[in-house]
A and B are shown apart, each in its own frame.
Chain A
């Protein structure tokens, strides 16, 4: 490798790295130091305390938040990828219908999530929502259901909306991946007498393994960054049944003015995520390492 190449490389990536360091890493560092700072009445007092973390450990709501966040991130990711895979498989079929759907399916992604949250909240409302009314009219349910007011349902309804918003892209990526599977392999499997399920399992899946890994990680990152959706739809309620890290951090920092604790939570959140992603990549190392090394 030429030395000049190395300099060129660093020069080329410098703007990107600098921008990310300045606008993302900088503020993150700020949060990290704040998590170790005692913040009283809006003023920073005394660095080097674990008080914020201790306060979190003692906070009864935090346990609930962890559980809900697990549903949100893990449940959301798993469902997003599996629904995306199913839809992607369907879209991969050649027909006029799927051709149109492939373009239209992006609509949920194009709408700002402020709008998404409002529209779904409205549709799901027990008294004025079209979904409840339709269910009742068709006789599927006896009365209308208050989806967002029921602590047993609310978290899952949020996941349904989340998947609605994030799944289309996953489906499109996987659809493209499935369509890129070499025809001769599929044909060969067919000759060997493999049925559709077997062909999918033994030919398609191995071919799209890397894509699956990639979209899983990407979905997880998206879902973590998602904040407006749950905040506008439920604000964490009812009775904290849909309180997740993102909303609780927001509440702690801007409603309670308790930035120390909010920052501590961000740090925990980030640490957990990085370890989940690292673990996931490690488990799936074969599916991406072989591709990446090409």
Chain B
């Protein structure tokens, strides 16, 4: 290649990069900026881009005990609840997803592909129509308005996809490794834990991150199933900013930042594994 096309090529690439960044990142950035503005500035026209007098008031308010007391929102508790739900259901999904993933990838049994396909398709069954029957079911087994109930429900929602990712990735790991360990006297379980799992780490991380984000941001079922004030989750807190009478974007922005930040940090750390794990699932069935 000679010089001119190469420069053009880079200009073109940078432009594409700019457009993509703008589309993907601007809305997030806009919310982030809003979190440093005052209600008055947010209402003013023409719209100001940068905060005129950046303030942390919105962040302070979220953690102040008197803010939105009437809505009984306690942000540290909301975050704690969401964290508990997301972490517990992620652990459940990982443990049982790995067991099932192992079976689907390593063992032959009648109906294997059919069952795996069925599990995946079941993911389509969610939607507004299932809210009511699910509520009925949960209250029948006494798990409505319970964090444990949501943990179980989210686990059931997340297991099929996690199983699929893990199974796909395990399939990529040569059986010989495992077999040689078994010849050396390891049990099936030992060989799975000691030999196979370490190699499947990207897939496990992927499944974990995937599920964590889903559980962390679920709203519809949480909003209908949870009743007690000390059981609410961050998404319920976020939705409380869209009340009929109030829409205060500085709080939405601040809360969204607080909610997204920990996950984003995890992602910056795990991103490499994450894409590798996704790849294992989506490149090789």
Chain A residues with Cβ under 8 A from B136's Cβ? 27, 30
Cβ A107 vs Cβ B25 within 8 A: yes
CB distance from B258 to the nearest CB of A (A): 11
Contact with B along A2-42 (1 / 0, CB 8 A): 00011011101101110110111111101100100000000
Cβ B30 vs Cβ A6 within 8 A: no
Chain A residues with Cβ under 8 A from B255's Cβ? 115
Task: Give the docked Cα–Cα distance between A226 and B72 (Å).
Answer: 28
> Interface majority SS on A: helix, strand, loop or mixed?
helix
Cβ A13 vs Cβ B104 within 8 A: yes
Contact with B along A59-74 (1 / 0, CB 8 A): 0000000000000000
Cβ A30 vs Cβ B99 within 8 A: no
> Interface majority SS on B: helix, strand, loop or mixed?
helix
Task: Give the docked Cα–Cα distance between A105 and B20 (Å).
Answer: 9
Cβ B24 vs Cβ A16 within 8 A: no
Known: A16-B100, A224-B127. A10 touches B109 (CB 8 A): yes
Pick the contact of A27 from B107, B115, B134 — CB < 8 Å? B134
Stretch of A43-51, A94-102, A151-159, A197-205 lying at the B interface: A94-102
Stretch of B61-69, B173-181, B235-243 lying at the A interface: B235-243
Task: Give the docked Cα–Cα distance between A266 and B129 (Å).
Answer: 6
Cβ A106 vs Cβ B271 within 8 A: yes
- The interface size bin for chain B is 35 or more
Pick the contact of B17 from A97, A137, A253 — CB < 8 Å? A97
A residues neighboring B (CB under 8 Å): 1, 5-6, 8-10, 12-13, 15-17, 19-20, 22-28, 30-31, 34, 87, 90, 93, 95, 97-98, 101-116, 118-120, 122-123, 128, 130, 133, 137, 164, 168-169, 172-173, 175-177, 180, 208, 210-211, 214-215, 218, 221, 224-225, 227-228, 232, 246-247, 249-250, 253-254, 259, 262-263, 265-266, 269-270, 273-274, 277, 288, 291-292, 294
Can you list 10 A-B contacts (CB < 8 A)?
A6-B108, A9-B103, A9-B112, A23-B137, A103-B271, A114-B239, A115-B255, A232-B242, A249-B128, A262-B128
